[in-house]
Amino acid sequence: MKSIEECKKETQAVHAGIDEYEFGSVVPPIYQTSTFRFKDVDHGARLFRGDEDGYIYTRMRNPTVEAMEKAIAVLEGGSHALGCGSGMAAVNTVLTALLSKNDHVVCSESVYGPTTTLLSGVFGKFGVRTDFVDTSNSDLIRSAMKPETKVVYIETPGNPTMVVTNIKEAAAIAHKQGAYLVIDNTFMSPILQNPFEMGADVIIHSLTKFLNGHADVVAGAVVLKDPNLYPQFRKTLNQIGGVIDPFNSFLVHRGIKTLDVRIERHNKNAMKVAKFLENHPKVSWVRYPGLESFPQYDLARQQMKGPGAMITCELSGGLNAGKCLMNSLRIFQLAVSLGGVESLVQHPASMTHASMDKKQREKAKITDGLVRLSVGIENAEELVEDLEQALKLC
C-alpha cells in the first residue's frame, strides 16, 4: 500500500493531513480552543520542557492547524509546514527566522508590493539591506550577491508582470554563496510548480489565494525542505504571534481538497481568455505563460506543469482605456487578491503595488496601464463575452 507521500497530487489534495478521529469523522474536527487542559502539574511541566508530545496553547500548536500544515507539506514535498495568519505573516516569519542585522537580501523586483516595502521599509530599519533585481536574468542575481547575502527571495511568475525566474539556476547561485533560496509559490500552487524539486529551501504561500480558493479566508503558509530548520521557524512564528486560527485552517484544508480540479479549470479558462486578448485589436500586449508569444515560454514549460490563472495585459489606449475596461466588466469583479473561483480584475499601480514608489514600479515594468486578471472557474465563453462587451465600450 502506497503512503500518501507516494500518491499523485490529485489524491494527496483529498487525503493529505487526514488522520483517524473520534466518532469516525472523515474530516478533522475544529478544535476551537485557545488552551488545552493538563492531566496534572507534572504533565504540564513535561509538555513545556518538550519531554512529552502534546498540546498546550493554540498559538503554539493546535490539531486542526496541524492537519492543514501536514497537507500542505505533503503537497509541496516538504518536511514541515507552518500555518500563518496571512501571506504577509508568512513572509515576515521567513525573513525574521533567516535574517540578522547587516545581512543582505537579493529579491525579485517584480514581487508583491508589501513584500518590497517590508524588506526596504521595515527590515531596512534594522540593518538588513536588499537589492531588487530582475531575477529572470540569472547574471543579475549573480552580480547582486555579496558575502553577507543570506536570502535570495523570488516570486515566479512575478507579481504582476508574470516574469519567470529559472529556479534551478537561482538555487545554484544562492547555495554557492551559502544563502537560502526562498520561493513565493502562490501564483502556481503545488499542482503546477514544485520548487523543492529544483533546489528551493523555503516555499511561501498566501493561502488566501489558490489553496483555499474561495475568497473567504486570509492566511499564509511557510513550507520547509530541511527538517532541521523547523524548530527555528516554529519558535520564530510562536514569538511573532502571526499564527492561523483553527477555523480558518479548517476552511483552507477543505479548499485544498478541490485544488487539483480547480487548477485544471483555471488553466483552461485562462488560456481561452489570453488567446482572445492577444488577438484583440485594442490590446497592445498580453503576458501569459501559456502563449507562445510569452518571452519565456520555453522556460515556463520546463519548470511549470501548466500556465496558471494569472494574465496581465495593457490596452492600446493606455491607462484610461484600462480604467474603462475594468469599470465596464460584469462577470469579472473589480477587486484585489486572486486565485479564487471567481474571476477578478485589478490595477496594480494604484492598488496592490501602490506601496511601491513610482520609480520602483517602473524599474519592475509595472506600468500605469498594466491590468491584472485572475481567471476563475466560470464558463470560459461567458468570460470572453464579458471582456468583449467591455472592450467595445473602450
Strand partners, 334: 345
| 59 in catalytic set | yes
CATH 3.90.1150.10 occupies which residues in the chain? 259-392
Q: In CATH, what is the architecture of 8-256? A: 3-Layer(aba) Sandwich (3.40)
Q: What is the pLDDT of residue 337?
A: 94
Closest CA to 19 of 68, 57, 59, 53: 68
Look at phi and psi of residue 54 and say left if phi exceeds 0, alpha if psi is from -120 to 50, else beta: left
Mean pLDDT for the chain overall: 95
Is it the case that residue 354 has pLDDT exceeding 70? Answer: no
Query: 59, 146, 275, 365: which is the annotated catalytic residue?
Result: 59
Q: Which of 9, 150, 209, 287 is catalytic?
A: 209
Q: pLDDT tens-digit profile of 203-240?
A: 999 999 999 999 999 999 999 999 999 999 999 999 99
**For residues 118-146, average pLDDT:** 97
Is-contact 340 215, C-beta < 8 A? Answer: yes
Q: Which residues pair with 373 in a beta bridge?
A: 311, 345
CATH 3.90.1150.10 at 259-392, yes or no: yes
Per the residue annotation, which of 31, 61, 134, 184 is the catalytic one?
A: 184
> Where in the chain do CATH 3.40.640.10 domains reside?
8-256
Write the pLDDT tens digit of every residue in 289-329.
Answer: 999 999 999 999 999 999 999 999 999 988 888 899 999 99
DSSP codes, 339-384? -SSS-EEE-GGGTTTTTS-HHHHHHTT--TTEEEEE--SS-HHHHH
CA atoms within 13 A on the CB side of 317: 13
- pLDDT tens digits along 241-292: 999 999 999 999 999 999 999 999 999 999 999 999 999 999 999 999 999 9
Give residue 340's pLDDT: 98
Q: One of 31, 112, 153, 288 is an active-site residue; which one? A: 112
Catalytic residue flag (residue 254): no
